[in-house]
Structures are given as structure tokens and as C-alpha cells.
A = this chain, B = another copy of it.
Amino acid sequence: MLFLPIIVSVFTIIFAIFLIRQIHRSPRGSGKMIAVSNYIREGAIAYLKRQSKSIAVVALVLFLLLWILLGFETAFGFLLGALFSAAAGFVGMMVATQTNVRVAEAAKKGLSPTLDLAFRGGLVTGFLVVGLGLLSISGFYLLVQDLKPLIALGFGASLISVFARLGGGIYTKAADVGADLVGKIEKGIPEDDPRNPAVIADQVGDNVGDCAGMAADLFETYLVTIVAAMVLGALIFPGESAVVHLPLFLGAIAILSSVLASFFVKLKEGQSIIFALYKGLIGSAVLSAFGFIWVIKNSVDSINLSFWQLYLPALVGLLIAGGMFLITDYFTSKKYGPVRSIAEASQTGHATNIIRGLAVGMQSTALPVVLISLGILISFWSGGMMGLAIAVVSMLSLAGMIVALDSYGPITDNASGIAEMAGLGNNVRSVTDSLDAVGNTTKAVTKAYAIASAALAALVLFSAYTQEIQALGAKVFFYLEDHKVLIGLFLGGLLPYLFASYAMTAVGKAGQKVVEEVRRQFKEISGLMEGRAKPEYGKCVDIVTKAALKEMIKPALIPVAAPVLVGLILGPEALGGLLIGSIVTGIFVAVSMTSGGAAWDNAKKYIEEGNLGGKGSFAHQAAVTGDTVGDPYKDTAGPAINPMIKVLNIVALLIIGFLV
């Protein structure tokens, strides 16, 4: 029965390899472009290698701990999840660094072939994320025939993801802040100027943060959601293997739909870029909706749920994904009120820009939370807890297409940078820039999608936690009146705040080091400003690499240590509260940060288009401040909350046996 998901995932990986070969056939351009691209790739590989070493130490300790406490299979699952998660991020990033220069070259031929190539680069990462995800779960499950090690598989993936999101996020924003503060503001040279010593580090950051970090994050989200649904299915319907396999089948169908729908993404005459991309997403969703009919019809035979009881939640999941798209687009696109109100507030200065941006970020949480609540209500009404699990799996089944839409962004961003540094013409730059602006919105959308699915997946994990406690025969109840549950809620609510504040502080500290190095180079290398001497790019890459890795460790350990401490000291009730508390504040912190940050970014872009005084105006200066504040919000702290919540929940699931 498990062969369908395995065949589909292997097919998807082969398709991704086919796409890579297609990309490789595309021309790489001339000498200077290749040189810049090589710098970027080398920096990115060097960072990921060192990041892997740092994580390997933590992973090895956890591997041994899991082996001793929970047996070899569980420890092995953890290792496998960690390796696959790292692989998804690494290969995706490698492809991105090979595609970027080719996209810059393709941009000479116009918008349509450029989009085509950049999106193909994104598709590789997307298909690798879901292909490797589905393959690791179904293959490992086939091997061990036991769900407990699968939870550890999720743990491995989530842990890598927290590190990758944090490390990559700190890297990319520290380099960005450092490059901007000295280059743009102190020296007055443009973005991506080759004289800026931090310019390569900045481009590397796009790859290690937005590509590798994001891929690991979505891989984790995808994998954990499917595992959680399988575990829950087994707990609610003991002995019914059809229910346990259902999430894998839904995933397989959705991947096939995404592969088909990827051919819909073509930029036709007169169409907007975002519409071309949406055709792919809508296509995946519609094809999946049809495919799910067949899968669910075949699965409900053996259990006491009707077809509609599970199919309706599956549709709800697809609709939540679509709804999150529309809502995030409204709050982060230059076309609508929220972003424009930030741009207008910039006219009265830095402070009013910030106040307005913070308010927009907070407001942007309302509709997603109402949408999620509605989704929970309908799924539950329809199919109980299993209904909710199916809704999340369905929502997440679109991950392949969504990752593709997201990771085409950093590819075009990098292409813009390469075009600038290699001195290509303005027409190339205008093509890559117009693709990049759309990339900003798709990036924000992916994050909102990830955190919404994280909240729902965490609820499924929490339900698995409570069901598992019952299955162990313990009498533990989670009454809201119980003071231990309340304390757990407070402490859990604290975690996203603490985590985010550490992440933001880390960006500040690492950025400070970059600022100092860039200032030093401008001072000590004579002729740098005049373009007669070359900056030492490698020094900046090296400094930000070290700083990011150093700063990522402390916050990343919070979600591993907190559930163990609370569980052991205060007991399983407080731990249950902790899990829910972290979701309740986590979703607000994450959405307000990611949407608010993207809105700040696009408010700046809106002014740069010539509105409200345009580039160089007082309003523009204020908007640059807002964008800089938004950077650690949207690219470091906000998105890292998603895997953090999942790690919390998975660790809780793993340690239950010691608590009751």
C-alpha cells in the first residue's frame, strides 16, 4: 500500500533532477557574471558547511540521548530526519546559486523566459522538499512499521529547521544591515555596488536564509504535519492502517497535481507576473481537490466516518491556504491600503513610519486567526480531530508549489545583484527587479502559510500528546481552571517572545560586527571608494558566518530545553499548557512580524517608484528605517517561530513516557 507514495516521491525527485539538467543547459553569461556568481556560491557553501558542523555537535548529543532513552530506531529516525532536512536545504540552495547567474543572462531576452528559468529553479527546491519529505516518511515507515520513530524523524527535521531558520536568518539580515548601514547610508553608494565589502555576504545571505533556511522550514512543516496526522489516526482508529496511510496518499496526489500544474506557469502577453504564478497554485489546488476524492473514498471504507466527513476538511485545508494567500497579499502588497498607509506615515518621519508599521503588523493577525478559527470549527464539526488533521495535511500538500513560488524570489534577487555587480545594462536590471518585487509578496505569503499551518499542525500534535497520555493509561486532564495548566499557558506564551527577542538581538550583534569590518575596509584599503582597489569580500563572509553561528545556538536550544524542564518540574498538565500557550502567542508574534516586515519593505519600494517624493526624499529616509526594522522581523525572528513551536510539541511527545 505504501508503494504509491514511494513511487511518486521518487518520480518527483527524478523530475527535479531533470529540471536541474535543463537549467544547466541554459547559458551562464560572461566572465564577470560567472566570477560574481562563484563568489556567492563559495560563500554559501562555506557557510552551510560550518553550520552543519555546529549543528552536528548538537545533533550527535541528542542522537546518543535518544538512543539511550528511547532506543536505536527512534535515534535513527531523528538522524534521518535531520539529514534529509539538511539535504533539502542544501540541494535547493545549490540549485539557486547555479540558477541566479543564468537568470541574469536570460534577462537580456525579456521577462517571459526569465520568469520561466527562475521559476524552474524554484520548482527544483519545491519538488525536492516534498519529494524528500514524502520519501523519508513512507520509506522509513515501511522499514520500521512503527510510528514512534516517525515522531523522532519529525524531531530531526524540526531541529535542523530551527537552526537553519535562525542561523540563515541572522546571517542574511546581519549582512544586509551591515551592507546598508555603511554602504548606502554612510558612503552613499547604491545597493549591490561592487565596492561594498559586504555585498557578497549580502547575496550569500539571500541563499542561506531565504533558500536553505526556508526549504528546511517547509520540509519540516510538511514532514511533521503528515507524521502528526498519521500518529493521530493510529491513536483514534487503532488498527486501521488505511487511516494511517491516508496522509501519505493525500501528499502523493498533491505532488502529482503540483507537477502537472507547474506547466501552467507561463507568462502570457498582458498578464501580470503574480497571475502567472497563481495559475500554478490554483491549478495544483483544483487538481488535488479532484484527486482527493479518489483517495478519501478508498480510505473511509473501513472506519466509521463518511466520505464527506473527511473530504470537507480536505477542501477546507485548500481554502485556508488560498485565504492566507489573499489576506497576506492584501496586507503586504503595494496596491492596497496597509502598505500605502505606512508610506504616507513616512512623510511625517521615522517614528510615524514605525508606529504605523507596528500597527499594521498587529492588525494583519486578525483575519488569519479568524480564518484559522473558522477552519478548525468546520473541520471539527465535520470529522472531529481527524478532520482537523486532514485539513492541515491538505493545506500542507500544496507545499511543493508554494516553496517553488517562494524560492524563485531569492533567485531573482541574486540575479539583480549579479546584474548590478557585473555592470549589465539597465534593461536587464529592470526585468530582474520587476520579478524581485513580486518575490517580496510571495515570500511573505509563504511565511504566513507556514505559520498558519504550524498552528494547526501544533494542535494536531497536542491532540496526539493528550491521546498518547490516555493510551499510556494515565489520568491527566487539561482543565483551563487547573492552575498548572494556566502556568503552562503563561510560560508557553513567553517562549515566542523570548525566542524572538533573542533572534532580534542576535541580528543586532552580528550586524554590528559587519558594520565595523566594512568601515575598517573603507578606511584601510586605499582606492576602494574610487574603484581602483577591490574589497576583501571573503573577510565579511567569514565574519558574518562566525557571528551567525555563534548567535544561533542559545535561542535554538530554548524549544528543546523548555518542555523537558517544565515537564519534569511541573508535570504533564503544565507541559500541555506550555504547548498551547506557545501556539497562542506564537501565531500572533509570527504573523505580525512577517506581514509587518513585508509591508515595511514594500512601503519603501512604493516610495522608490516615485510616489510621495520618491528616492532620496524625507519620506524615503523614514521608509528605509522601517524596512531595516522589518528585516529581522520578517526574515529572522518571525519565520523561526514556526519550527520552534513544532520542536516544542515533538519534544513533548517524545518525553511523555517519562512523565506519566
- A: residues with CB less than 8 A from B are 177, 181, 185, 345, 348-352, 354-356, 358-363, 365-366, 369-370, 372-373, 376-377, 380, 385, 388, 455, 459, 462-463, 466, 477-481, 483-487, 489-491, 493-494, 497-498, 500-501, 504-505, 507-508, 511-512, 515, 570, 576-577, 580-581, 584-585, 587-588, 592, 624-626, 628-629, 632
Contacts and interface: CB of A to CB of B under 8 A. Distances in A.
Contacts of A587: 490, 493
B584 A483 contact: no
The dominant DSSP class at the A interface is: helix
Contact of A366 (B365, B462, B477, B497): B497
Contact of A359 (B372, B377, B388, B508): B508
A27 to B, nearest CB: 40
Nearest to A579: B480
Contacts of A349: 181, 185, 625, 628
A579 to B, nearest CB: 9
Contacts of A494: 365-366, 369-370, 588
Given A348-B515, A365-B497, A498-B366, A466 B481 contact: yes
A479 B478 contact: yes
A632 B388 CA distance: 39
A493 B588 contact: yes
Given A478-B481, A508-B345, A580 B369 contact: no
A370 to B, nearest CB: 8
Contact of A483 (B185, B360, B376, B500): B376
A581 B629 CA distance: 28
Given A366-B497, A508-B359, A486 B580 contact: yes
B355 A498 contact: no
A525 B310 CA distance: 72
Contacts of A504: 355, 358-359, 362
6 contacts: A351-B626, A352-B508, A360-B501, A380-B483, A480-B576, A497-B588
Given A351-B625, A629-B351, A362 B508 contact: no
B479 A477 contact: yes
Contacts of A181: 348-349, 352
B497 A592 contact: yes
Contacts of A177: 351-352
Interface core residue of A181, A484, A490 (most chain B CB under 10 Å):
A490
A243 to B, nearest CB: 19
Contact of A501 (B363, B373, B577): B363
Given A369-B493, A494-B588, A480 B354 contact: no
B629 A354 contact: yes
A554 to B, nearest CB: 13
A487 to B, nearest CB: 4
Nearest to A622: B350
- Which 10 pairs show the lowest CB-CB distances between chains A and B? A351-B628, A478-B480, A362-B501, A380-B483, A359-B504, A350-B625, A363-B501, A373-B487, A350-B350, A359-B501
Contacts of A355: 504, 507-508, 628-629, 632
A586 to B, nearest CB: 10
Nearest to A505: B359
Interface core residue of A362, A372, A592 (most chain B CB under 10 Å):
A362
A482 to B, nearest CB: 9
B489 A580 contact: yes
Contact of A486 (B370, B459, B577): B459
A384 to B, nearest CB: 9
A501 to B, nearest CB: 4
Contacts of A585: 493, 584-585, 588
A372 B487 CA distance: 8
Contact of A580 (B370, B480, B628): B480
A372 to B, nearest CB: 7
Nearest to A570: B377
A570 B455 CA distance: 20
A360 B504 CA distance: 10
A486 B385 CA distance: 12
Nearest to A362: B501
A350 B624 CA distance: 10
Contact of A490 (B354, B486, B584, B628): B584
B356 A483 contact: no
A192 B409 CA distance: 50
Contacts of A625: 349-351, 354, 625
Given A185-B349, A494-B588, 16 more contacts: A345-B508, A354-B354, A356-B505, A358-B501, A359-B505, A361-B501, A362-B504, A370-B494, A373-B490, A376-B483, A466-B481, A480-B485, A480-B577, A490-B584, A497-B588, A584-B585
Contacts of A356: 505, 508
A377 B576 contact: no
A628 B490 CA distance: 30
Contact of A369 (B359, B490, B570, B588): B490
Contact of A500 (B350, B351, B362, B385): B362
